Structure 1
Amino acid sequence: DEIPIEEVAKYDVIMLSPGPGIPDEAGILKEVISTYAGSKPIFGVCLGLQAITEVFGGSIVNLENVFHGVATTMRVTDKEAILFKDIPESFLAARYHSWAATDEGFPEEIQITARDEDGLIQAIQHKLLPISAVQFHPESILTDVGEQLLRNFINSVKK
């Protein structure tokens, strides 16, 4: 939220970074998504996934168990998802969050592509637009497949 919304137009790809806080407290985050969804590829991490979910009509919930600096097992639920090309069905990923997207009222136009062992949503992909996001942190050393996952997104949006 350090730049005007119009300045985002000069970038080819939008990367939504992690928190802190919740999407409604994150400056122009949701406005960026609603303004540029459909015209620019978007990749979200943590707070980014939550914001994408809300912009498309879904909800987030405050978790009873907080995840900060812990690696847990993720399970790919859609092997055709662009993020998970050449990635095992199960992998460890770093988590730093106390909020998560909820299945209740989840947007129909978004596909859930990974979940954790408790069934919480951990990755999503829009069914028609070049929008993907993860709840976990691919940039963390605790995420086994982070580099490949980011490479997959970048390769999917190359012109």
Structure 2
Amino acid sequence: VCLGHQCIGQIYGGDVVRAPEIMHGKTSLIEHTGVGVFTGLPNPFEATRYHSLVVQRDTMPDVLEITAQTADGLVMGLRHREFDVEGVQFHPESILTAGGHQLVGNFLDRCR
């Protein structure tokens, strides 16, 4: 979540840069691919964002795939193509994130 998502992007070769707009306690519609932690979630869904940095889309390494984004193309979800590594930029634990409990549940199901 958030910083962890950014770390995944950075570790595998992406750049973490300043977001075009600081998003602290603001919501956005998130479009997703329906895989991994996004399984069964509405598409799009509203999520709460608390960040000023993002993984820059055009520096995304081939080993990572983008699994979620905002309407304007900012990366909101990514996952490794081979390893069970996945991150989200927004905050699923926030009360303003629709389907946040389901997203966390999807993650926990993978840990069992």
Q: Is the pair's TM-score, using the shorter chain for normalization, greater than 0.5?
A: yes
What TM-score, normalized to structure 2? Answer: 0.95
Matched, 1:49 2:14: no
Aligned counterparts of 2:20 and 2:65: Cα–Cα separation in 1: 25
The one of the two structures with greater contact order (alpha-carbon pairs below 8 A, sep at least 6) is 2
Instruction: State the Cα distance separating 1:60 from its structure 2 match.
Output: 1.1
Partner of 1:88: 42
Equivalent residue of 1:69, what SS? strand
Matched, 1:120 2:71: no
Segments of 4+ moved more than 2 angstroms = none
Aligned residues: percent identity?
38
Deviation per CA, 1:108-147: give whole Å up to 9, x if none. 1111100011110001111111111100000100100110
What TM-score, normalized to structure 1? Answer: 0.68
Equivalent residue of 1:71, what SS? strand
Partner of 1:133: 87
What letter matches 1:104 in structure 2? D
Equivalent residue of 1:51, what SS? helix
Partner of 2:18: 62
Equivalent residue of 2:79, what SS? strand
What letter matches 2:51 in structure 1? H
Greater Rg by CA: 1
Instruction: State the Cα distance separating 1:105 from its structure 2 match.
Output: 2.1
What letter matches 1:138 in structure 2? P
User: Pick from 90, 108, 112: which aligns with 1:154?
Assistant: 108
Equivalent residue of 1:67, what SS? strand
How many pairs were matched up? 112
Aligned counterparts of 2:20 and 2:41: Cα–Cα separation in 1: 30
Where structure 1 has 5 or more consecutive residues not aligned to the other structure, the ranges are 1-44
